[in-house]
Amino acid sequence: MALPDTIVIGKTYIFNYPPEFVTLPEYTAQAGQHVVVLRQCTDEEADQGDDMERMFHVRTASGWEGVAWASELSEVQPCS
């Protein structure tokens, strides 16, 4: 899976929620789904420090909304 260099608001990505993270089952249920990036989290919303990556609000086609780290979003590969 290719990690994007830049996350684009409004673009669709694959949500790669790590399977070892079991404390948020609603996130685990969305793993592997296509999500649309709605916006970047504000500093107040994000769990960020100086060396932390960016976080984004995302939504699936079914309407679920959550927050994803940039590293949890991968490019959707075109069908060949």
Of the listed ranges 1-5, 7-11, 12-16, the least confidently predicted one is: 1-5
For all residues of the chain together, what is the average pLDDT?
Answer: 87
DSSP H or E segment with residue 74:
strand 73-75
Q: Which residue ranges make up each domain of the chain?
A: 12-75
Q: What's the average model confidence in pLDDT over 21-30?
A: 92
Is the pLDDT confidence value at 53 over 70?
yes
Distances (CA, A) of 19 to 26, 55, 58, 65: 12, 19, 18, 18
As a whole number of angstroms, the distance between CA 66 and CA 57 comes to 6
